[in-house]
DNA sequence: GAGGCATTTCACCGG
DNA sequence: GAAATGCCTC
């Protein structure tokens, strides 16, 4: 059979092979949309005989186009693939404008104004016009007008007086762009539309047009699609109106209908099978989206098993929410026996700003993560500086870029000087750059004489730029971008500048610069490979293309790609030493579109966050939630802090659940706490992910680090027993967070055990560092590692064994196995594991879990609070290995006995938490576990050590939080 | 004293 | 990270 159709289901094949010339493929999440579109491209080439250069394929992001290229290279070979006209609308338009822009009077060498430039220009005009409109608002409105093809005059005609202010700004903005020969994002599309309308011959070769993510196109893009296809009218679009989340960028869902109206011969194919998510997740997501009654009903059929119900978790506050995510990730990793790794988790946020608490919690507990959709690589200051230099070199008319670097690094050119220069340039009606040059070369002068120092600084700048331009002229190939970056960085002594300016993270900043160079190099390599200039447009007879100096062209192309980059090119990977990136992803929901993860967390599902308080269209917010939920393959967690100090609605910051999750839905489709991860659940996860089921042995191995096998640190209602400590919530931030959990007051009140990372400890790094990461990974991969300092740092939740006197430091591997009876005992234990029927009571056993939160905060009983104790290893008390239970469970850890004296125990904790110096003796440890089972919950079973149990006992009796906090604070201050 | 530099403060959808 | 304020140099 045709290899192109391999692995496609019936509906997908129908779409791929459809003979309809106008085809709409409606593809819900996880239905194989990209696969289908890719196959369609391949099919058109091979079965219809189209030449690749006659096929235009538009994607929404650069990443999507890259992925598509990769897939196509496999299907049809790189040779054909490289000749396709494939890219984002913006990049395709840019290509056409570079080649044919002269036909509509576009000046050669135009630059692209990115949104920072745009904002800067608008800010300036607003200031000049003394308008009261907010910069961002003006930017958005202007862009919206442009996206609808409305010129300032058109807006003026139809708008009332109150718009006149905006119209003025809009006008000025447009002339500023024109003066600098810049096009903003909207212009790229608009001008290309103008071009193709006036000169359709430019696309007369086009046989077929394909558009991905069609629901995100705006009117102009829709028109462009039609213009591209004007000759032969063969269009395939793929999209899903339910995933339209770019209305704020003027995306128009109605384009689907509009297209059907325009082309009466439109064929519509529905893909309904979902290959991504568990049935339970789809059901929940489906119910969310179906609340929108205006939307045409569409099926979403699960191909996977039902799986376990998604979770809707209530937590006391955002901090606890972040800690809970940490705990759940650890629990999932531990209880699935290697099935899930860090890279299988994603935290999807409505707003990037919600990430801070989560990042802090991750950092503190050693969970490696990468941020996506936050600050983009190209937006980092140090990168931006170099890019702006290059933009000036490439296009001296780029006054905004010039303004950004005119005094960076500082060269004594201050506000006053800049004012003189910009005013002068404006009066002379010449670009800022030319004016500056004239001034320092004595051909012109400013109204007020410039300071000597400033003048000298300008000289230096002009010389640098001129030298760079010279360099560029000499460089006639694709290496130009890299050559320039190196040249400029060198001449600026950029590294020294970074060291001076950012002493704290100079190395990571310099690493970003290296990464930028690396990317420039890659672009060069990429372009040289396809000697044929894959990016070039096909030559059309009778229409002349403009040619440019190839070094310049390489540079402008590089800069354009940067400007148009919508996604984050992952950074930091450049650093060596980074291990295979096993990281949790933190992303905005918007940036997560099209992606999937085995486990997805969606925090902050409260009113005001989703729907966002400033959202204009509620339906879009609902779709956003739908998109987030449908990213999950096997496990989906939604959560809400019941209080959110600043943003909550109530006076005490109480939040209300998003209206998209009405009670009826949450009751039937969600559970209130994380699922118990017994083997059936684990196997279902494995099956959904199409991964091998882990062995019980593997599952078992992970448990040893686990504080609790259940999501039970907070009550399902999201409460923590705060009665005794009211400052808990505020105490965690900087220090460690862990507030001691005092959850059920009857139980664990004591210190947690802790230890591990350190917030305070001097020996352990406090900040997130690769050390953490690596240790953590190591542990994750090697649960049996000795618990040494690294392990602690990594946040493993293991208790340190209290020591017998001989062992000072933690368990060794041997000791762990001994502890559990050695490897040989494994078999015996197996049955024990995740056992199901859940043990009757599951209380949070606390101590260990505390660790995660913070080691630092150990609680010391008041009497001891004045002195610090050195950490001692806990001596593992002997656990009972034999199954003690009638149901066949073996408790790995003995339940704690009340025997212990609280004071001692807590001392232990403290020690471990603080790493301070005195040696204590481990005395308490003598407790005997055997008696353990009674009275304790099975949960504890999974605790790795008996110790935890021991500690438990004390907790109950401790009620001194306040003093402890005081102590902690002091610790923080002194030692931090 | 003007202008430049350093420090502090506030706020922040989304691409 | 940008605006606002205060300190230092020419």
User: A824: which residues sit within 8 A by CB, 6+ positions away?
Assistant: none
* Core vs surface per residue A878-891: b (16+ CB within 10 A) or e: ebbbeebeeeebbb
Q: Does A944 carry a binding-site annotation?
A: no
**Å between A336 CA and B12 C1'?**
38
How far is Cα A375 from Cα A352, in angstroms, rounded to an integer? Answer: 9
The percent helix, strand, coil of chain A (3-state, each to 5) is: 50, 10, 40
3-state secondary structure A682-744: HHHHHHHHCCCCCCHHHHHHHHCCCCCCCCCCCCCCCCCCCCCCCCHHHHCCCCCCCCCCCCC
Phi, psi angles (nearest 5°) of residue A23:
-125, 130
Q: Does A409 carry a binding-site annotation?
A: no
pLDDT band at A349 (very low <50, low <70, confident <90, very high): very high
Q: Which pLDDT score is estimated for A946?
A: 27
**Å between A127 CA and C8 C1'?**
29
Phi-psi label, residue A381: left if phi above 0, alpha if psi -120 to 50, beta otherwise: alpha
User: A502: which residues sit within 8 A by CB, 6+ positions away?
Assistant: A382, A509
The neighbouring-strand residues paired with A238 are A25
User: A776: which residues sit within 8 A by CB, 6+ positions away?
Assistant: A342, A366, A367, A368, A794, A795, A796
At a 7 A CB cut-off, the residues bordering strand C are A 116, 123, 375, 379-381, 451-453
How far is Cα A275 from Cα A232, in angstroms, rounded to an integer? Answer: 34
How far is Cα A550 from Cα A547, in angstroms, rounded to an integer? Answer: 8
**Å between A415 CA and B3 C1'?**
8
Find which nucleotide's C1' atom is closest to A245's CA. B14
What's the rounded mean pLDDT across residues A103-125? 85
What's the rounded mean pLDDT across residues A544-570? 73
pLDDT band at A923 (very low <50, low <70, confident <90, very high): very low
pLDDT at A305 over 90: yes
Instruction: Give the mean pLDDT of chain A.
Output: 72
How far is Cα A669 from Cα A663, in angstroms, rounded to an integer? Answer: 10
Angle made by CA atoms A476, A478, A484, in degrees to the nearest 5: 80
Question: Alpha carbon of A281 to those of A285, A306, A629: distances in Å?
Answer: 6, 8, 7
Q: Which pLDDT score is estimated for A331?
A: 93
Q: Nearest CA to the C1' of C1 belongs to which residue?
A: A381
Helical (H) or strand (E) element with A964? helix A961-975
Phi, psi angles (nearest 5°) of residue A586:
-115, 125
Residues in chain A: 976
Q: Residue A586 in contact with residue A349, Cβ under 8 Å?
A: yes
Q: Which pLDDT score is estimated for A647?
A: 55
How far is Cα A313 from Cα A635, in angstroms, rounded to an integer? Answer: 13
Q: Which pLDDT score is estimated for A129?
A: 77
How far is Cα A353 from Cα A371, in angstroms, rounded to an integer? Answer: 11
Phi, psi angles (nearest 5°) of residue A357:
-65, -40
pLDDT at A815 over 70: no
What's the rounded mean pLDDT across residues A304-312? 94
pLDDT at A388 over 50: yes
For the record, the structure tokens of A521 come out as 């190099």
How far is Cα A694 from Cα A678, in angstroms, rounded to an integer? Answer: 12
Helical (H) or strand (E) element with A626? helix A618-629
Cβ neighbours, 10 Å, residue A299: 11
Q: Residue A750 in contact with residue A955, Cβ under 8 Å?
A: yes
How far is Cα A921 from Cα A873, in angstroms, rounded to an integer? Answer: 9
Cβ neighbours, 10 Å, residue A5: 14
Q: Does A32 carry a binding-site annotation?
A: yes
Find which nucleotide's C1' atom is closest to A566's CA. B15
How far is Cα A812 from Cα A787, in angstroms, rounded to an integer? Answer: 6
Radius of gyration of chain A (CA): 31
A552 vs A233: which has the higher pLDDT: A233
Weakest mean pLDDT among A99-113, A347-361, A586-600, A709-723:
A709-723
Hey, is A633 helix, strand or coil? strand
Q: Does A30 carry a binding-site annotation?
A: yes
Q: Which pLDDT score is estimated for A646?
A: 60
pLDDT tens track for A608-659: 888 888 788 889 999 999 999 999 999 999 999 988 766 555 556 788 899 9
Angle made by CA atoms A605, A607, A608, in degrees to the nearest 5: 105
Angle made by CA atoms A321, A327, A328, in degrees to the nearest 5: 90
A439 vs A894: which has the higher pLDDT: A439
The DSSP-derived string for A854-915 is -SS-----GGGTTS-----PBPPPPPP-SB-STTS-B-SSPPP-TTS-HHHHHHHHHHHHH-
- H runs (alpha helix) in A293-414: 318-335, 355-365, 381-394, 399-405
Whether the full predicted model's pTM is greater than 0.75, yes or no, is: no
Q: Does A801 carry a binding-site annotation?
A: no
**Å between A387 CA and C9 C1'?**
32
pLDDT at A675 over 50: yes
Q: Does A28 carry a binding-site annotation?
A: yes
Contacts for A76-82: CB closer than 8 Å, 24+ residues apart: A76/A41, A76/A42, A76/A45, A76/A46, A76/A52, A80/A45, A80/A52, A81/A52, A82/A52, A82/A530, A82/A532, A82/A534
Q: At what angle do helices A33-48 and A10-17 cross, to 10 degrees?
A: 40
Nucleotides of B under 7 A from a protein CB: 2-6, 12-15
**Å between A775 CA and C9 C1'?**
51
For the record, the structure tokens of A836 come out as 């199901």
Q: At what angle do helices A550-564 and A452-474 cross, to 10 degrees?
A: 110
């Amino acid at each position: 059979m045709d290899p192109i159709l391999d692995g496609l289901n019936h509906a997908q094949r129908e779409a791929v092979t459809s003979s309809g010339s106008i085809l709409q493929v409606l593809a819900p999440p996880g239905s194989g949309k990209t696969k289908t579109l890719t196959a369609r491209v391949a099919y058109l080439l091979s079965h219809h005989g189209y030449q690749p250069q006659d096929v235009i394929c538009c994607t929404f992001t650069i990443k999507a186009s890259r992925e598509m290229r990769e897939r196509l290279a496999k299907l049809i070979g790189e040779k054909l693939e490289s000749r396709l006209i494939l890219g984002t609308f913006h990049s395709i338009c840019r290509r056409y404008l570079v080649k044919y822009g002269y036909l509509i009077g576009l000046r050669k060498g135009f630059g692209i104004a990115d949104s920072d430039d745009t904002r800067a220009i608008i800010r300036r005009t607003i200031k000049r016009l003394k308008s009261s409109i907010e910069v961002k608002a003006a930017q958005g409105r202007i862009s919206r007008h442009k996206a609808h093809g409305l010129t300032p005059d058109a807006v003026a005609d139809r708008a009332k007086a109150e718009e006149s202010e905006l119209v003025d700004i809009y006008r000025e903005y447009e002339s500023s762009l024109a003066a600098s020969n810049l096009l903003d994002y909207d212009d790229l599309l608009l001008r290309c539309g103008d071009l193709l309308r006036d000169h359709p011959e430019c696309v007369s070769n086009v046989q077929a047009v394909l558009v991905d993510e069609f629901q995100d196109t705006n009117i102009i893009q829709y028109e462009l699609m039609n213009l591209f296809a004007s000759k032969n009218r063969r269009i395939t679009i793929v999209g899903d109106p339910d995933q339209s989340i770019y209305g704020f960028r003027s995306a128009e869902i109605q384009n689907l209908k509009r297209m059907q109206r325009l082309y009466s011969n439109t064929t519509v194919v529905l893909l309904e099978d979902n290959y991504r998510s568990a049935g339970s997740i789809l059901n929940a997501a489906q119910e969310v989206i179906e609340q929108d009654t205006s939307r045409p009903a569409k099926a979403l059929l699960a191909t996977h098993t039902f799986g376990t119900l998604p979770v809707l978790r209530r937590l006391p506050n955002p901090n606890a929410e972040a800690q809970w995510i940490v705990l759940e990730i650890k629990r999932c990793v531990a209880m699935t026996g290697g099935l899930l790794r860090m890279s299988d988790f994603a935290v999807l946020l409505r707003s990037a700003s919600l990430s801070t608490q989560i990042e802090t919690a991750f950092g503190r507990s050693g969970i490696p993560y990468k941020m996506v959709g936050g600050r983009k690589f190209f937006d980092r200051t140090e990168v931006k500086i170099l890019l702006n230099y290059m933009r000036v070199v490439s296009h001296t008319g780029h006054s905004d870029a010039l303004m950004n670097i005119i005094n960076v690094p500082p060269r004594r050119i201050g506000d006053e000087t800049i004012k003189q220069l910009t005013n002068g340039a404006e009066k002379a009606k010449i670009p800022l750059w030319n004016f500056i040059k004239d001034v320092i070369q004595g051909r012109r002068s400013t109204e007020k004489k410039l300071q000597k120092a400033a003048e000298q600084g300008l000289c230096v700048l002009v010389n640098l730029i001129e030298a760079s331009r010279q360099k560029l002229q000499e460089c006639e190939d694709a290496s130009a971008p890299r050559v320039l970056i190196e040249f400029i960085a060198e001449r600026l002594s950029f590294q020294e500048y970074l060291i001076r300016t950012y002493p704290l993270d100079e190395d990571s900043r310099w690493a970003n610069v290296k990464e930028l160079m690396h990317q420039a190099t890659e672009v060069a390599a990429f372009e040289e490979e396809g000697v044929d200039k894959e990016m070039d447009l096909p030559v059309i007879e009778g229409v002349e293309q403009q040619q440019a100096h190839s070094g310049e062209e390489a540079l402008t192309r590089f800069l354009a790609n940067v400007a148009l980059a919508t996604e984050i090119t992952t950074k930091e990977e450049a650093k060596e030493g980074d291990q295979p990136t096993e990281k949790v992803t933190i992303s905005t929901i918007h940036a997560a579109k099209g992606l999937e993860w085995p486990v997805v967390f969606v925090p902050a599902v409260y009113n005001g966050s989703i729907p966002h308080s400033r959202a204009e269209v509620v339906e879009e917010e609902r779709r956003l939630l739908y998109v987030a939920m449908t990213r999950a393959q096997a496990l989906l967690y939604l959560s809400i802090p019941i209080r959110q100090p600043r943003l909550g609605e109530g006076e005490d910051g109480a939040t209300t659940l998003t209206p998209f999750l009405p009670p009826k839905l949450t009751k039937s489709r969600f559970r209130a706490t994380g699922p118990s991860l017994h083997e059936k659940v684990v196997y279902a996860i494995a099956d959904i992910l199409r991964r091998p089921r882990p062995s019980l042995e593997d599952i078992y191995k992970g448990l040893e680090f686990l504080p609790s096998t259940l999501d039970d640190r907070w009550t399902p209602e999201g409460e923590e027993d705060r009665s005794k400590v009211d400052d808990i919530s505020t105490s965690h931030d900087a220090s460690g967070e862990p507030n001691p959990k005092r959850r059920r007051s009857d139980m664990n009140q004591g210190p947690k055990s802790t230890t591990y990372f350190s917030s305070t400890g001097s020996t352990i790094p406090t900040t997130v560092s690769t050390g953490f990461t690596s240790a953590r990974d190591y542990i994750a991969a090697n649960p049996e590692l000795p618990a040494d300092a690294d392990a602690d740092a990594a946040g493993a939740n293991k208790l340190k064994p209290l020591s017998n006197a001989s062992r000072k430091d933690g368990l060794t591997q041997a000791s762990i196995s001994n502890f559990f009876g050695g490897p040989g005992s494994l078999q015996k234990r197996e049955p024990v594991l995740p056992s199901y029927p859940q043990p009757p009571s599951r209380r949070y056993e606390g101590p260990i879990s505390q660790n995660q939160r913070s080691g630092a905060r150990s609680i010391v009983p008041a009497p001891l609070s004045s002195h610090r104790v050195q950490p001692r290893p806990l001596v593992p008390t002997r656990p009972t290995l034999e199954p003690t239970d009638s149901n066949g469970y073996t408790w790995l850890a003995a339940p704690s006995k009340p025997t212990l004296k609280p004071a001692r125990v807590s001392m232990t904790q403290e020690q471990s938490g603080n790493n301070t110096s005195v040696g204590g003796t481990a005395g308490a440890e003598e407790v005997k576990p055997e008696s353990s089972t009674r009275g304790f919950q099975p949960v504890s079973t999974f605790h790795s050590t008996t110790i935890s149990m021991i500690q438990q006992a004390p907790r109950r009796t401790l009620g001194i939080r306040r003093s402890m906090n005081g102590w902690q604070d002091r610790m923080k201050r002194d030692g931090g």
